[in-house]
Amino acid sequence: MNDLPPTIENPPPPTEPPRQATKLPVAIGFVVGAAFWAIPFSSNLRNYNGVGWLFLDAFVLPVVSAILAAIRPTRRVGLGLLLACGLGWLVLGAMCGGLIR
């Protein structure tokens, strides 16, 4: 075929096909984050029992998920957690604003 040495203009042929990106880690991160947000709003933790979980969800979980999103092997899980944190903040804002009871 090509007897020229590999250069920028003449790259070597790929040895294996590129891996397909899967959305499973994002879904796993979203489900875990949604589960953390669902704990303080469950019927068993009404009144002041869910305040600790709510503090964890509102302030600790976004930091942890941003750190996971910055690390390359756990990037997709961290992005799923960040998505769940953002939606949790939107639901919490709607509840505090009186849109959801």
pLDDT greater at residue 62 or residue 45: 62
Give CA–CA dist 54/45, Å, rounded.
Answer: 11
Task: Write down the domain spans for the chain.
Answer: 24-41+48-97
pLDDT of 15 = 80
pLDDT tens for each residue of 48-62: 677 888 899 999 999
Encode 73-88: b = buried (16+ Cβ within 10 Å), e = exposed. ebebbbbbbbbbbeeb
Q: What is the pTM of this model?
A: 0.74
For residue 38, pLDDT over 80 is answered with yes
CB within 8 A of 33, min separation 6: which ones? Answer: 61, 65, 80, 81, 82, 83, 84, 85, 88
The mean of the pLDDT values for the chain is 85
